[in-house]
Chain A
Amino acid sequence: MKTWLKILLGLWIAGVLYFGFAMPIGDIPGLGEKARIIFFHVPMSWLAVLAFLMSMIYGILYLKDRDLKYDIKSSTAAELGFLFTILATITGSIWAKFNWGSFWNWDPRETSIFVLLLIYGAYFSLRSALEVEEKRAVLSAVYSIVAFVTVPFFVFIMPRIMFSLHPGGGGSAAPILNASGKMYMDMNMRFVFYASLIGFTVFYFWLFQIRTRIGILTYLESLETEQ
Chain B
Amino acid sequence: MRGAYAVFSKDLYSELRTRYALNALLMFVVVTLSIILFSTAGEAVSPALSAGILWVVIFFAAMSGLSRSFVSEEERGTTMTLQLWVKPSAVLIGKLAFNTLLLYLLNGLIVSAYLITMQSFKLQTPSIFWLTIVLGSFGLASASTFIAAIISKANSKGTLYPVLSFPVLLPLLMSVIDATRLSVDGAAFYEAIDDFKIMISYAVVVTTAAVILFDFVWRD
Interface: A126 (CB within 8 A):
yes
Interface: B39 (CB within 8 A):
no
Which residue numbers of B lie inside 8 Å of A, CB to CB?
Answer: 143, 146-147, 150-151, 153-156, 160, 163-164, 166-168, 170-171, 174, 194-195, 198, 202, 205-206, 209-210, 213, 216-217, 220
The 3 closest A-B pairs by CB, nearest first: A153-B171, A129-B154, A118-B167
Cβ–Cβ < 8 Å partners of A161 in chain B: 194-195, 198
Q: Are B216 and A138 in contact (CB under 8 A)?
A: yes
Q: How long is the Cα–Cα vector from A118 to B171 in the complex, in angstroms?
A: 13
Cβ–Cβ < 8 Å partners of B163 in chain A: 121-122, 125
Q: How long is the Cα–Cα vector from A147 to B206 in the complex, in angstroms?
A: 9
Q: Are A146 and B206 in contact (CB under 8 A)?
A: yes
Interface: A187 (CB within 8 A):
no
Tell me the dominant secondary structure on chain A's binding face: helix
Q: Are B160 and A126 in contact (CB under 8 A)?
A: yes
A131 in contact with B166 given A142-B217, A161-B194 (CB within 8 Å): no
Interface: A7 (CB within 8 A):
no
Cβ–Cβ < 8 Å partners of A135 in chain B: 153, 220
A145 in contact with B166 given A125-B160, A153-B171, A158-B174 (CB within 8 Å): no
Q: Are B167 and A122 in contact (CB under 8 A)?
A: yes
Q: Are A150 and B194 in contact (CB under 8 A)?
A: no
| Residue of A with least CB distance to B162 | A122
Q: Are A119 and B167 in contact (CB under 8 A)?
A: yes
Q: List 25 A-B contacts (CB under 8 A).
A: A111-B174, A115-B170, A125-B163, A126-B150, A126-B151, A138-B217, A139-B217, A141-B216, A142-B150, A142-B216, A145-B213, A146-B206, A146-B210, A147-B167, A147-B168, A149-B205, A149-B206, A149-B209, A150-B167, A150-B168, A150-B205, A153-B171, A154-B170, A154-B171, A161-B195
Contact with B along A96-136 (1 / 0, CB 8 A): 00000000000000010001001101100110011100010
Cβ–Cβ < 8 Å partners of B166 in chain A: 118, 122
Q: Are A150 and B160 in contact (CB under 8 A)?
A: no
Q: A125-B160, A125-B164, A157-B198 are in contact. List 13 more A-B contacts (CB 8 A).
A: A121-B163, A126-B150, A126-B160, A135-B153, A138-B217, A139-B154, A142-B217, A143-B164, A146-B206, A147-B167, A149-B205, A154-B171, A157-B171
Inter-chain contact total with CB atoms closer than 8 Å: 80
Which residue numbers of A lie inside 8 Å of B, CB to CB?
Answer: 63, 111, 115, 118-119, 121-122, 125-126, 129-131, 135, 138-139, 141-143, 145-147, 149-150, 153-154, 157-158, 161
Q: How long is the Cα–Cα vector from A50 to B195 in the complex, in angstroms?
A: 29
Cβ–Cβ < 8 Å partners of B168 in chain A: 119, 146-147, 150
CB proximity of B142 to chain A, nearest CB, Å: 11
| Residue of B with least CB distance to A153 | B171
Which residue from A130, A142, A153, A158 sits with its C-beta under 8 Å from B154? A130
Q: Are A150 and B150 in contact (CB under 8 A)?
A: no
| Residue of B with least CB distance to A129 | B154
Q: How long is the Cα–Cα vector from A145 to B146 in the complex, in angstroms?
A: 12
Q: How long is the Cα–Cα vector from A193 to B120 in the complex, in angstroms?
A: 52
Q: Are A129 and B156 in contact (CB under 8 A)?
A: yes
CB proximity of A81 to chain B, nearest CB, Å: 14
CB proximity of B138 to chain A, nearest CB, Å: 16
Q: How long is the Cα–Cα vector from A32 to B146 in the complex, in angstroms?
A: 47
Cβ–Cβ < 8 Å partners of B154 in chain A: 126, 129-130, 139
Q: How long is the Cα–Cα vector from A122 to B153 in the complex, in angstroms?
A: 15
Q: Are B153 and A145 in contact (CB under 8 A)?
A: no
Q: Are B171 and A150 in contact (CB under 8 A)?
A: yes
Cβ–Cβ < 8 Å partners of A122 in chain B: 163-164, 166-167
Q: How long is the Cα–Cα vector from A118 to B164 in the complex, in angstroms?
A: 9
Q: Are B206 and A150 in contact (CB under 8 A)?
A: yes
CB proximity of B80 to chain A, nearest CB, Å: 15
Q: How long is the Cα–Cα vector from A119 to B163 in the complex, in angstroms?
A: 9
Q: How long is the Cα–Cα vector from A147 to B143 in the complex, in angstroms?
A: 10
| Residue of B with least CB distance to A157 | B198
Cβ–Cβ < 8 Å partners of A145 in chain B: 209, 213
